[in-house]
Amino acid sequence: MKQTMHAVIFRGPLDFGIEAVPLPHISSNDILLKVITCGLCGSDLRTLKFGHRKVTPPFIIGHEICGEIVEVGSQASPAWKTGMRLAVAPVVYCGVCIYCRQQRLELCESYQEIGQVWPGGLAEYVAIPADALRRGVINPLSPSIDMVQAAVSEPLAACLHALEKVDFSTVRSAAIFGSGAIGCMLLQLIRKRGVQTIILIDPNDDRLNVAKIFHPDATINTNDVDVVNEIKTITAGIGVDAVFTATAAPIVQEQAIAISSHGGQIIVFSGLPKEQAQVRVDYNQIHYHNLRISGTSIYSPDHHKKALELIENGKINVKDIITTYPLLDFISGAKAALNGEIIKAVFIP
């Protein structure tokens, strides 16, 4: 095997590129994956722009990984065999907190991530550490699954977790803030749950236009109109029964409450930048309108498994949200994603 590889090295905010680096070293309990595809996540975009408190540069980012095992450490479980193809999601649960012990892994209070604690998958090879093999989210890929689409299984797993927070029996209308990959997948998933009117909201026309292939009933560009008034108009003054916030804009949290119908459900999908996370909330609206606000983050291994099944069986269209790039063209792919010209970049080393 060769001794060096190409990898995306993050050196600081808006300072990143492809570099030649030594192949990852694996210890006796780890495995080495040859990366076949790796998606660029919304959280990666934030890291590229602003840095990340858990990422110490220079560092290889990337956590939506599909690859093939090329080396198995001498002490690793014999279940791992060279030639096996895996989808690796980044989350490694702590295994000891109260939630892990209750098998409510998606609530783990101190999970760690590949691409933050351990070097990530935007590279030709990635070491999968023993901790991830034991307590992470790794699923074998069936021979028939498309490896580009399978790279989106990680964000799709987060969407499936989010949907569990919603009581769909009363949801006739919904609004989704953010027409990125998450918004486009949520749109398809909630349509299948029988929601009649789905409104997609974003400040970027390029992204709204791509999302139109998933047939939202209305799209709203927040730069053009007042979103609260517009939703009231579309819903005859009632508001929407479910709101998903799949964008990191603080104003959206206030708008989500303002556009909710009585009994409305708000799913807080996206985190906010730490210094902007204190949001003004009108508690009287929550009280008098009987609103329900649910947070959701990460997923369980089961959500990830289910996500792979949906992709493999063509139950969700992820193909049309993906633009592929050779890994060596990382800069152009990342720029297109940062500018909102494309929805999801998947890189192929």
Could you give the CA distance from residue 216 to residue 222 in angstroms, rounded to a whole number?
16
Least distance between Zn ion and beta carbon 154 (Å): 5
**Which is nearer to Zn ion, 154 or 230 (by Cβ)?**
154
Q: Which residues contact 189 (CB under 8 A, 6 or more apart)?
A: 159, 160, 163, 316
φ, ψ of residue 63 in degrees (nearest 5)? -140, 10
Least distance between Zn ion and beta carbon 104 (Å): 9
3-state SS, residue 98: helix
Position closest to Zn ion via CB: 41
User: Which residue ranges make up the site for Zn ion (CB under 5 A)?
Assistant: 41, 93-94, 97, 100, 108, 154-155
Least distance between Zn ion and beta carbon 34 (Å): 20
Scanning the structure block, which residue is given the tokens 């990422």? 55
Could you give the CA distance from residue 148 to residue 238 in angstroms, rounded to a whole number?
41
**Which is nearer to Zn ion, 72 or 92 (by Cβ)?**
92
Write the DSSP symbol of residue 168: G
Least distance between Zn ion and beta carbon 63 (Å): 6
Least distance between Zn ion and beta carbon 237 (Å): 37
Phi-psi region of 322 (alpha: psi -120 to 50; beta: other; left: phi over 0): beta
**Which is nearer to Zn ion, 108 or 307 (by Cβ)?**
108
**Which is nearer to Zn ion, 80 or 347 (by Cβ)?**
347
Least distance between Zn ion and beta carbon 89 (Å): 8
**Which is nearer to Zn ion, 158 or 252 (by Cβ)?**
158
By residue count, the chain amounts to: 349
**Which is nearer to Zn ion, 32 or 152 (by Cβ)?**
152
Question: The tokens of 339 are what?
Answer: 């500018």
Least distance between Zn ion and beta carbon 209 (Å): 23
**Residue 260 half-sphere exposure, CB side, CA atoms within 13 Å?**
27
**Which is nearer to Zn ion, 108 or 259 (by Cβ)?**
108
**Which is nearer to Zn ion, 173 or 247 (by Cβ)?**
247
DSSP string, 274-334: GGG------HHHHHHTT-EEEE--S--HHHHHHHHHHHHTT-S--GGGEEEEEGGGHHHHH
Least distance between Zn ion and beta carbon 120 (Å): 10
**Which is nearer to Zn ion, 44 or 71 (by Cβ)?**
44
Least distance between Zn ion and beta carbon 43 (Å): 6
Scanning the structure block, which residue is given the tokens 């498309």? 146
Q: Which element (helix H / strand E) includes 47? A: helix 42-50
Could you give the CA distance from residue 184 to residue 199 in angstroms, rounded to a whole number?
11
Closest Cα partner for 290 from 263, 315, 313, 309? 263
Q: Apex CA 345: angle with CA 342 and CA 349, to 5°? A: 150
Could you give the CA distance from residue 32 to residue 118 in angstroms, rounded to a whole number?
13
